[in-house]
Amino acid sequence: MIVAGQSQSAYFLEEATNVSETHTLSVLVDNEPGVLARVIGLFSGRGYNIESLTVSEVEHEKHLSRITVVTTGTPQVILQIMHQLARLVPVHRVVNLTRMGEAIERELALVKVIGKGEHRVEALRLAQAFSARTVDATLESFVFEMTGTPADIDRFINLMTECGRVEVARTGLAALSRGAEIM
């Protein structure tokens, strides 16, 4: 934080811009073979990590798909990724949802829990507290479906460890900007 009347050295400012941040990028692309491979190739070829990736056709008539990518890097790296994505031929638009403000972010998770007795009761109680749905139940196991923010899903998964969590499947992040701004 810079306070009026205090001077900061240029070294301090340079150091602050080298901090790695997590960003959610939304990329509107033509829905055609090889587009996803080209986008992923851009990340892998330059050593950028993809933390989450979600792809789906969003406009069937126009054959457009939306790719939502969560990645981490310094502000300069994120800007470089956006510029490189925008140069790919099938890409129509690249938006940094993180820079636009608080985006609406949701993810779906399936969590399998195996347990008996108190562990079963506790798993059901936690699922109810997190508004998770029971989508499969046997005498020895449950599969819960939960939709929410990645942080809420992380908390749910971690708590289910004590109840006998054995398996997890996650969809990846789906995100939209708030308000009237559109892609």
pLDDT class of 181 with cuts at 50, 70, 90: confident
The predicted structure's pLDDT at residue 41 = 94
Where are the domain boundaries for CATH 3.30.70.260 in the chain?
16-96
Burial class (CB in 10 A: 0-12, 13-18, 19+), 139: exposed
Q: What is the pTM of this model?
A: 0.82
Residue 11 has pLDDT above 80, yes or no: no
Q: Assess whether pLDDT exceeds 70 at residue 10.
A: no
What architecture is the 104-176 domain classified under in CATH?
2-Layer Sandwich (3.30)
**Rounded mean pLDDT, 131-144:** 97
- Residues in a beta bridge with 12: none
Per the prediction, the chain carries an average pLDDT of 90
Quickly state the pLDDT bin for 17 (edges 50, 70, 90): low
pLDDT confidence of residue 2: 28
Residue 43 has pLDDT above 80, yes or no: yes
In the structure, what pLDDT confidence band is assigned to residue 133 with cuts at 50, 70 and 90?
very high
Three-state secondary-structure class, residue 162 = coil
The 3 state secondary structure assigned to 38-84 is: HHHHHHHHCCCCEEEEEEEEEECCCCEEEEEEEEEECHHHHHHHHHH
Q: Is the pLDDT of residue 146 over 80?
A: yes
Token pair for residue 141? 């196991």
Question: Which class does domain 16-96 fall in?
Answer: alpha beta
Task: Give mean pLDDT, residues 42-48.
Answer: 93
Task: List, by residue range, all CATH 3.30.70.1150 domains of the chain.
Answer: 104-176
Count of other CB atoms within 10 angstroms of residue 131: 11
Q: Which pLDDT band, with edges at 50, 70 and 90, does 161 fall under?
A: very high
